[in-house]
Amino acid sequence: MLDYAHLHALAVVISEGGFERASKILCISQPAVSQRIKQLEERVGQALVIRSTPVEATPTGKRLLRHYSQVQLLESELSVEMDADDPKLPTIVKIAVNADSLATWFLPALSEIFKRHQWLLELIVDDESYTHNLLKNGEAVGCVTTTKEPLAGCSSEYLGEMEYLCVATPEFIQQYFPINITPTSLERAPAVVFSTKDKLHEKYLKKYFKMKTGSWREHKIPSSESFLEAIIQGMGYGLVGHLQAEPLIERGILIEITPDKRKRVPLYWQHWNIKAKQTTIVYRSLAVTAKQSLCQS
């Protein structure tokens, strides 16, 4: 039988990135925190933390953290059912989501249910190709991801597709693509990409223009709002989701450079296979809004 005080200590050590900070959160001495982790490691017979800076969980540690997060979610639900008027027991729902979804359809999908149930939302923002890792590691109870195949112990539900348009300002197009868009002009024109994790732009140029990695110039701006603003300010061209791009195109602020070369990215909702009403209600709300906002194949 696992000691949940020890599991709680492990969770705090990993979330805070070290034993000293964890001791302040837990209100116990640093040696006491270390002792709890040591006893837990002796109980399972494996190392649970990599004592680096910051501290990281081992694969076994991540599995225990996932189990602990699931138990917390179920206990939170049980507490609410037993004493719905107790304000000291908030339900915290941790979800991993990509920046483009967060900037457009995601929060409108969930705002009403979180207000109605008085849940607290904790968002972890990452590239849609990586969010499933946060679910796998127990850092989130659900995620919006491009990964179709469900992770072990999880379910995967299709939401829809985000369609990306290659856009730029009229002035930028006049400067860099006055006649047409070619690999040569794309080598000169600065692009705007979200981050080094985001491979959408790279896949786009390779698929439609047969360009090699590193043959183009790019700004890296890891903020959905600032990413779009950089394109609007004429710093570069970029791939923008249809929910953000289409209103700006209608107003003449941006122009679609390659209307015959759009790229669709399918999105899925993956969540733990546990009987928690939070994940069920969240999925239903996401599915309704996604059907209205995302492209359906």
Average pLDDT of 3-15? Answer: 84
Average pLDDT of 173-179? Answer: 95
CA distances from 201 to 163, 214, 257 (A): 13, 12, 14
The predicted structure's pLDDT at residue 130: 77
Where are the domains positioned within the chain? Answer: 162-265
What is the percent of the chain where pLDDT is above 70? 94
Radius of gyration of the chain (CA): 23
The predicted structure's pLDDT at residue 89: 61
Which residues are within 8 A (CB) of 225 and not within 5 positions of it... i.e. 6 or more apart? 103
Give the separation between CA 97 and CA 77, rounded to whole angstroms.
23
Please check the confidence at residue 182 and state whether its pLDDT lies above 80: yes
CA distances from 115 to 30, 91, 99, 173 (A): 38, 12, 22, 44
CATH architecture of 162-265: 3-Layer(aba) Sandwich (3.40)
Give the separation between CA 111 and CA 77, rounded to whole angstroms.
19
The predicted structure's pLDDT at residue 86: 52
The predicted structure's pLDDT at residue 76: 66
Please check the confidence at residue 183 and state whether its pLDDT lies above 90: yes
Position with higher pLDDT, 20 vs 231: 231
Give the separation between CA 65 and CA 84, rounded to whole angstroms.
27
The predicted structure's pLDDT at residue 195: 81
Please check the confidence at residue 87 and state whether its pLDDT lies above 80: no
Give the separation between CA 240 and CA 246, rounded to whole angstroms.
9
Cα dihedral sign for 9, 10, 13, 19?
Answer: positive
Give the separation between CA 110 and CA 83, rounded to whole angstroms.
24
CB atoms near residue 62 (< 10 Å): 18
CB atoms near residue 265 (< 10 Å): 20
The predicted structure's pLDDT at residue 233: 98
Under the banding of pLDDT at 50, 70 and 90, the label for residue 170 is very high
Average pLDDT of 118-131? Answer: 84
Average pLDDT of 81-90? Answer: 56
133-157 confidence digits (pLDDT tens): 777 777 788 899 998 998 888 889 9
Which residues are within 8 A (CB) of 110 and not within 5 positions of it... i.e. 6 or more apart? 121, 282, 285, 286
The predicted structure's pLDDT at residue 22: 85
Please check the confidence at residue 162 and state whether its pLDDT lies above 90: yes
What is the percent of the chain where pLDDT is above 90? 47
Position with higher pLDDT, 252 vs 68: 252
The pTM (predicted TM-score) of the whole model is 0.75
Phi and psi angles of residue 144, each rounded to the nearest 5 degrees, phi first: -95, 120
Please check the confidence at residue 73 and state whether its pLDDT lies above 80: no
The predicted structure's pLDDT at residue 88: 56
